Amino acid sequence: MCGIIGYVGNKNAIPILIEGLKKLEYRGYDSAGIAYIKNQKIITKKKKGKIKNLETSLEDDNSNIGIGHTRWATHGKVNVTNCHPHTVGDITLVHNGIIENYEKLKNELLNKGYNFKSDTDSEVAAAYIDYLYKQDKDILKVLNSCKNYFKGSYALGIILHDKDDSLYALRKDSPLIIGISKDGNFIASDMPAILKYTNSYLLLDNDEVAVLTKNNVLVYNNLKPITKKTLTFDYNEEESLKDEYEHYMLKEINEQPKVVKEFITKYIDNKQIDKLPNLKKYNKIDIVACGSAYHAGLIGKYLIEEFGNIEVNVEIASEYRYKKLFIDNKTLVIAISQSGETADTLACVRIAKEYGVDTLGIVNVVASSIAREVDNVIYINAGCEIAVATTKAYLLQVLTLATLAYNLAHDDKQNDFSKLPIILSKLVKQNYYDLAKKIAKQEHIFFIGRNIDYAIALEASLKLKEISYIHSETYAAGELKHGSISLIDKGRIVIAIVTKKSIADKTISNIKEVKARGAYVVLVTLKSLNITSDCYDEIIVIDDICELLVPLITIIPLQILAYEVAKIRGCDIDKPRNLAKSVTVE
Ligand code: F6R
C-alpha cells in the first residue's frame, strides 16, 4: 500500500527514486510519481499504471533531491491528478496513510481561498501545511504542529522549491524509515527501497520530525533535537532475487522447506523452545490478524485448544478493534502479521495495551510497528516475502503457533518436527497441472472442511481467489445443508479437505451429499485415512505426519494449485489487481 522514497545527497536523485519505487512495487500500487528540485523549481512527473510508464516518460535530468511515491488509491480514482507528489504553494509532498479529518480541513481551506485539483486527502495535507507555513515561515515548527491538526495516519515526505538542500519527513502510525549513507540520506516506507545504497537506518517514531541534508539527519521531538539509534538491516540481497523462478510466489513456495527447517533447528533441535513465551499462565488467548494471518490464527486456535488446553478466540482485527472486549490480566492477545504494519492489527495491539493485558506479536518484518509495540515478539524469520499472496510467511505463522501448542502439550507423539522439511521438500516439487486446467475454466468453486480442515480450506480458497480471480467460497462442511448446498450443480468443483481422523466420517457424509447433486469432488487427504474412491473424482494424497503438524503440509498442494490456475489464466501472480502487500490503512 502506498510506497514512499526520498533522497538528498551527492548523487542524481532521479534514478534512485525510480529504483526505489520499483523495489516498493510489491506493496501494491496503481500509479506512481516523482518530484525533484531543479534551479529552485519543482519538477513533477506522474503516470498511471506501472513504474515502467513513469520511467519511460522521463527525460535525462539531474537533481540532488527528490521524493517519489507509488499510490494505492484510497481517496479518488486512479488518475494522474490524484497521483502523488502533490504541490500546493511552497509545499510538495508524498503521503502514505489517511488523513481522516481531511473534509473538515478542506472546507476550512476552501474558505481561505485554496483550490484543489485532486480528490485526495494528501493534497489537503499539502495545502494545510502550506497554509500554516504562510503564517509562520519556520518549517520545522509547522511540521511539528501537524499533529495538532491531522487526524488519522500519515507518513509524509516533503520538499520545498526554495530549500534544495533539505528533505523533511514526519509520521504517525504509517511506516517510514530513514536511511543513512556517506553519499546522502533517504526516507522510505521499507528497507528494500534503499538497500542498494545502505543498510544503516534509523526508525522515525510517531510525531517525530526529521530534517535530512546530504551529510546529516536531525530528528526532533517537540522541536527538541533527539539522538536516535542507528540500526543495521541484516539482509541477504539474493533473497529478493527471483533466481530461476518465473514468479516470486513460486520461489517463496519452494523456500518453505528451508525456512521451516531453520525454525525447527532454532527452537526444537537447539532446544531453544524455552525461549518462547510460556502460555500456561493465561486462561484465555485472543488472536487478532487479517487475511491469511487470520487463517493461521484459526489453525492456532484448534492446535492450542486441542493440545494446549487453553481457550482461544480468533478475531479479524478490523472487527476486534470495534467490539466489546472481555479481557483481563489472565488474557494474552496475540497479533499475527507478516508485515508488522497492518493498520487494523496494530490498532488491536494498542487497544489491548490500553486494557493492560499482555501482548505477543508473531511477526516477520524486524522492527516493524507491531514488533516494536507488543510486549513480546516472536520473529518467524521467513526472510523477505515479495509476492503479495503470502505462502512462506503464512506457513511459519502456523509453525510458530504449532510450536507454542507443542510447548504447552509436552506430548512426544506430536514431535514429528524433523520429518516436516523432508515432506515439504517432496510436496513443493509436485504439480497439479491437469486439475489446474479444469479449475481455470470455472467461474465459481467451493472448498469444504470441518474443524482444522475448515481453517486450511479458508486459506486455500483465499489463495486461489486472490491470484486467479475465480470466485471461491469456503463452507464448514456441516453447514452446507443450511442453505449453501443449493449452489451445487452438475460439474461444480468442490475441493474437500479431510485430514482430521476423528471427524473424517462426518465430512465424508457431506462429500456424498454434494456428489449426489452432481459436484466434481477433489479430495485432499492423508494416506492413512484410506478414503474409498466412491467419495471423490480426483484425489491429492499427502504423507502422514503427527496431527499437530498436518496443517503445515496440507496447504502446500493447494498453494501450488492456486499458482498454476492463476498462471493458466494469465494473471499477474505476484501483484494481483487491487491488492497491497502491506495494508497500512484501516
Ligand atoms: C493473502 C495475504 C493477506 C495478508 C493480510 C495480513 O495472501 O497475504 O491476506 O495475510 O493482508 O497481512 P500481514 O500479515 O502483513 O498483517
10-residue mean pLDDT profile of the chain (586 residues): values are: 94 97 89 97 96 93 97 90 97 96 98 96 97 96 98 96 97 94 96 92 95 98 96 73 88 97 94 91 97 98 97 98 96 97 96 97 93 96 94 98 95 94 97 98 97 98 98 97 94 97 96 96 97 97 97 98 98 92 85
Q: Are residues 216 and 261 in the same domain?
A: no
Last residue of a domain, one of 235, 262, 277: 235
**Both 223 and 277 in a single domain?**
no
Residue whose C-alpha is closest to residue 388's, from 316, 338, 425, 340: 338
Same domain, 272 and 179: no
Residues 386 and 300 in one domain: yes
pLDDT of residue 192: 86
Give the containing element (helix H, strand E) for 397. helix 392-409
Whether 583 is in the pocket of ligand 1, judged by its Cβ within 6 Å, is yes
**Strands 184-188 vs 200-203: parallel, antiparallel or unpaired:** unpaired
Question: Rounded to an integer, what distance in angstroms lies between the CA atom of residue 336 and that of residue 226?
Answer: 32
C-alpha distances (whole Å) from 409 to each of 102, 119, 269 are 51, 55, 17
Which residue is catalytic, options 46, 228, 500, 581?
581
Residue 573 lies inside a defined structural domain of this protein: no
pLDDT at residue number 211: 98
Count: domains in the chain = 2
Report the separation in Å between the CA atom of 146 and the middle of ligand 1, taken as the mean of its atom positions: 31
Domain span at residue 228 reads 3-235
How does DSSP assign 482-525, residue by residue? Answer: GTGGGG--TT-EEEEEE--GGGHHHHHHHHHHHHHTT-EEEEEE
Claim to verify: residue 182 and residue 254 sit in the same structural domain: no
CA 558 centroid distance within chain: 20
Residues 292 and 163 in one domain: no
| Residue pointed to by grid coordinates 465459481 | 444
Ligand 1 touching residue 9 (CB < 6 A): no
Given 235, 256, 287, the domain boundary residue is 235
| Helix, strand or coil, per DSSP, at residue 127 | helix
* 585 located within any domain: no
- Tell whether 160 and 308 lie within a shared domain: no
- 581 noted as active-site residue: yes
Tell me the chain's radius of gyration from C-alpha atoms: 25
Cβ neighbours around 281 below 10 Å, total? 11
Q: How far apart are CA 389 and CA 578, in angstroms?
A: 12
Strand partners, 160: 91
Element (H, E) at 94: strand 91-99
**3-class DSSP state for residue 285?**
strand
Please tell me whether residues 224 and 263 are part of one structural domain.
no
Q: Ligand 1 in contact with 345 (CB < 6 A)?
A: yes
Does 285 lie in the same domain as 223? Answer: no
Looking at residue 482, its pLDDT comes to: 95
Query: What would the DSSP string read from start to end of 231-264?
Result: EE----GGGGS-TT-SSHHHHHHHTHHHHHHHHH
Q: How far apart are CA 438 and CA 394, in angstroms?
A: 27
Q: What is the CATH number of the domain that holds 219?
A: 3.60.20.10
CB of 397 closer than 6 angstroms to any ligand 1 atom: no
Say if residue 228 is in the same domain as residue 369: no
Given this model, what pLDDT does residue 236 score?
65
Query: CA quadruple 62, 67, 68, 74: dihedral positive or negative?
Result: negative
The CATH number for 358's domain is 3.40.50.10490
